[in-house]
Structure 1
C-alpha cells in the first residue's frame, strides 16, 4: 500500500485524473464499523477495475479545534492504523494534515479539492461522516456537491453490545478494562507496541523475570491491573501475563510501567520491538507487605493465565 501525505492547499502534482474509489473517515481503531466502510470501497473499486484509496487525517481534529491544549491517546496511532488498513486490500492511503486552514474549508471546497481533485469516481463513508468547516457537510448532501461527477455509498450503522460500534464506545470499554468487549468491537485483539528496555530487574530475583516495555507515548493503554496477554517478539508469539502499574509493593514512584512475564521463555531481548495483544483483565494492582505474598499472587496469576489460554485455544 502506498502512503501519500497531503497538506492544504493541495499541491498541483498531487491532483489526479486516474480514477479511484475513495473511503473517507478518521478510522481510529479500524474497528468493525470502519472495516465495513473500507471493505465496501474495495468491492466498489474491483467492480470498476480501479484502485481503492482511503483518506484519513493527522493529527486528531480535536487537537486542532480545541481552544485549550489537548493531547489524544489513540487506539491505533498512524503507523498501526496504516498496517490495519493495508490488510483490507487498499492500494493507497492518503494522510491529510489536519490544520486550521484545512478545517476552515467549506464543504463544497473540500469536495472540489479532496474528492474531485484526487480523481474519485465513487466515495464511500459511514452514515455519520461529516466534512468541511464545523462538520457542516453531511452524507445526505454529498450527492448534491458531486453534481454527477462521482457516486456515493453511505454505509449504515453497525451495532453490537446494545450500542453503535464506534471508537468512543471502544475507548469506554478499554477504560473499564473490559477487553472482551473491546476485542469484540474491534474484530481482533487490542494491540499496543513498544520497545523492551532495562528495568529494575527485580522480577528475576523472585522467579518472575519481566520484560519492561516502553510503549508509544500516544497509544491508549488499558487501565492499571494484571492481564492475560500475548506478546510477539522476533516474529514469534508467546502467551504472557502483563502488569500495568506503579510497582507499589516496592516503591511509591509515579511512573507507570508495563511489565510482561512471558510464559516458558528465557532469552535476552532488550531493544527488541514487540506487539502486545490484550485479552483479559484479571485483577487490580495490589500492595503486599512482603515478598511471600507477592510471589504467591504471581503464581496464582500465572495459573489463571495458563488456564485462560488453554480454554481459549480449545
Structure 2
C-alpha cells in the first residue's frame, strides 16, 4: 500500500473512500468493502483520503478528543482490507475554510476520482456545508459517481467511532468489541514505575499510552499482547493506586502471566478482552493480594475461553 502526503502530480484514476476512519470499525469496513467492489467493477484501485490531525482538533481545539487508533494502526488496518493508496494530508485552518466546491475541484479531481464512497453523515468543506447530497450533485457536474452508505448497526446500535469511545469510557469492552469487530487496543511505551508490583509478586509493565489515545474507564481488565512473537495473557489495571496513594496520576499497568523479560523502552500493544472489576481501595497488602489472585484466576479463565 502506498502512503502519500501530497497530491499526485499526475491523475491516477481511482475509487476514493472519504472519512476519518478512526478505529476502522465494522461500519468503516462495510464502506471500504463497498469501495473495493466499485474499484473492481471499474478496473481501478481503491484509495482513501484521511487528514491529520483529526479535523475536530483543528475546528474545536478546546475539546478533548481521544482517538481509538494511532495513524500507524489505521494504515495497517486499511492495508489489510485491501486499500491501494492512502492520501494522508495535513488538515489546516486553510483546509477548514475551503468551500465544498473548492474541496472537490482542488482535492478530489486532482486525485483522479471516478467514483467516491462516503457514509450517510459525511461532511466536508467550510463549516461542514458539504454533505452527501451535495457531493452527489458535484459528482454529476464533474463526471464521477458517488455511493452513499447508510448507517450500519448491530443489535439495534449504530456503529460509530463516537459510540465506541463512549463504550470504552464506560468500561463496556463487550459492546466496544462488537462495534469494532475485534477487541479494543491500547498502545504505549513501557516505562519505569514504582516497582511495587514486583515486590508483591505481581511485576507489571507500566505503559505510557501514545498521545491522544483513548484510555478506558479505570478498573481491572483481562488482556493479551504479542511479546517477542508470542501471545501472552495478562491482566491490566488502569487506576490511581488508591490502596497506596490518596491522590495519584492514572496509570496503566499490565501483569503478564508466565512471562519474564525486560520490556523497558519497548512499545507494546495490549488487546483488551473483558473488564473484570472496578478499581477499589483495599485495607492493606494482604487484602489486595487476595483480590489479585482472584483477578488472575478469572482473567485466565476468560482468556482461555476467548483465545482459541
CA distance in 2, matches of 1:195, 1:130: 35
CA distance in 2, matches of 1:168, 1:276: 21
Helix, strand or coil for the counterpart of 2:36?
helix
Of residues 94, 118, 125, the one that matches 2:118 is 125
Helix, strand or coil for the counterpart of 1:194?
strand
State whether structure 2 residue 8 is matched by structure 1 residue 5: no
Offset, 1:130: 1.4
Residue number in structure 2 paired with 1:99: 92
Residue number in structure 2 paired with 1:272: 266
State whether structure 2 residue 218 is matched by structure 1 residue 231: no
Q: Which runs of 5+ in 1 are unaligned?
A: none
Within 5 Å, give how 1:146-157 maps onto structure 2.
146=139, 147-157=141-151
CA distance in 1, matches of 2:55, 2:284: 48
State whether structure 2 residue 35 is matched by structure 1 residue 60: no
Change (3 A) 1:230 1:313: closer
Q: Number of paired residues?
A: 307
Q: Which runs of 5+ in 2 are unaligned?
A: none
Residue number in structure 2 paired with 1:212: 206
State whether structure 2 residue 283 is matched by structure 1 residue 289: yes
Offset, 1:253: 4.0
Within 5 Å, give how 1:76-115 maps onto structure 2.
76-115=69-108
CA RMSD of aligned residues (A): 1.5
Helix, strand or coil for the counterpart of 1:280?
strand
Of residues 242, 246, 252, the one that matches 1:258 is 252
Instruction: Calculate the TM-score normalised by the size of structure 2.
Output: 0.95
Change (3 A) 1:70 1:157: closer
Equivalent pair of 1:233/1:273 in contact (CA under 8 Å): no
Helix, strand or coil for the counterpart of 1:261?
strand
Moved more, 121-130 or 229-238: 229-238
Helix, strand or coil for the counterpart of 1:111?
helix
Moved more, 24-33 or 200-209: 200-209
Helix, strand or coil for the counterpart of 1:274?
strand
Instruction: Calculate the TM-score normalised by the size of structure 1.
Output: 0.93
Offset, 1:95: 1.5
Residue number in structure 1 paired with 2:132: 139
Within 5 Å, give how 1:166-245 maps onto structure 2.
166-245=160-239
Residue number in structure 2 paired with 1:21: 15
CA distance in 2, matches of 1:202, 1:128: 48
